[in-house]
Amino acid sequence: MEFPMRHLPRAAVRALFPATIAAVLVFGQYPAGAADDDAPKGPAVTVLKVAKSCFSDIVEATGTIIAREETSVRPERPGLKVTEVLAEAGETTTAGQVLARLALPEGGTLQVTAPVAGVIATSTAQIGNLASAKGEALFTIVARSEYDLVGLVATTDMRKLAVNQQATVRIAGAGDIDGKVRRIGPTVEPNIQQGMVYIGISSQKRLLLNASGRALIKTGQSCNVAVPLTSVQYSSAGTVVQVIRRNRVETKRVEIGLMSGGNIEVRDGLNEGDVVVARAGALLREGDPVRPVMAAEAAK
């Protein structure tokens, strides 16, 4: 049943118009079922904020341990018999320390002393054995306890090396020892395309000569924003990272640099504070809606 407008009281007509206009505005501008693009939707994705970090440029060298200077200890006279041994291989000695005593043919005793301080590398001294100036050395001493790791480095990394660069030398059974680049070889082995570097080590520990070791040489440092390795994808389009903006996926091409501890330096393409997908994958595509969850919250 219709009620023509003219039959309504004037007050009722005035009251009806504002409500009608409001309804038109609301339903005209925001149709039923429409949602704000910023509202969280789509799958939950673990994300994190990009932060700055510093990376060390490390060059690796592998090789063997040698004595930088090895001193042989013998008596000056021939035909002497060892009567007492006062030092053993592996012991640290001081300059002038008595290492052994020998019996002289005419009677009396000759003392054999260490000409330098260091670590006794080898010893053949045994009571009753003969010793002479031209025979086998009674003792060999690593002078001043100084060793070298003689290592090989890839040709592409040789240009990064410089004398006095700091290094960490890792030797099985001896742990990590501080070292320093002492000398850089002038040539490259043509068959293996590797160059030689000498890493100086000073250690009061007894290091086994000819033992294998590895040196991590710090050749420089770079500070930039960083992301986990899992955030980076390698594709035909280049190296990319998935960034979240307004709850949607954006694929950003990046230039990467150094790596350390599961993170990688990003030299171009990202800014500090950008939100990236912690574990990027092919299931997420450009423009996909997602519900970002910060990594710290996801771990709870």
Q: What is the structure's pLDDT at 300?
A: 54
Q: In the predicted model, is pLDDT for residue 38 greater than 60?
A: no
Q: In the predicted model, is pLDDT for residue 27 greater than 50?
A: no
pLDDT (tens digit per residue) in 127-170: 999 999 888 999 999 999 999 999 999 999 999 999 999 999 99
Q: In the predicted model, is pLDDT for residue 32 greater than 80?
A: no
Q: What is the structure's pLDDT at 246?
A: 93
What the chain holds in terms of domains, given with CATH numbers, is 44-55+222-294 (2.40.420.20), 59-66+145-221 (2.40.30.170), 75-137 (2.40.50.100)
| Distance in Å from the first CA to the final CA of the chain | 63
Count Cβ atoms within 10 A of the Cβ of residue 147 and give its class: 0-12 exposed, 13-18 middle, 19 or more buried.
buried
Predicted confidence band at 6 (pLDDT cuts at 50, 70, 90)? Answer: very low
- Full-model pTM: 0.66
Q: What is the structure's pLDDT at 31?
A: 43
Q: What is the structure's pLDDT at 35?
A: 46
Predicted confidence band at 3 (pLDDT cuts at 50, 70, 90)? Answer: very low
Top-confidence residue, 175 or 32 = 175
Could you give the CA distance from residue 16 to residue 22 in angstroms, rounded to a whole number?
10
Q: In the predicted model, is pLDDT for residue 206 greater than 50?
A: yes
Q: For residue 114, how many other CB atoms are within 10 A of its CB?
A: 20
Q: In the predicted model, is pLDDT for residue 225 greater than 70?
A: yes
pLDDT (tens digit per residue) in 100-137: 999 998 889 999 999 999 999 999 999 999 999 888 99
Could you give the CA distance from residue 154 to residue 150 in angstroms, rounded to a whole number?
14
**Mean confidence (pLDDT) of the chain:** 85
Query: Residue 229 to residues 115, 280, 296: CA-CA distances in angstroms?
Result: 55, 10, 17
Q: What is the mean pLDDT of residues 160-184?
A: 92
Q: In the predicted model, is pLDDT for residue 237 greater than 90?
A: no
120 and 91 Cβ atoms separated by less than 8 Å: yes
Q: In the predicted model, is pLDDT for residue 20 greater than 50?
A: no
Could you give the CA distance from residue 118 to residue 139 in angstroms, rounded to a whole number?
12
Close Cβ partners of 110 (under 8 Å, ≥ 6 residues apart): 75, 77, 80, 101, 102, 103, 104
Could you give the CA distance from residue 298 to residue 208 in angstroms, rounded to a whole number?
49
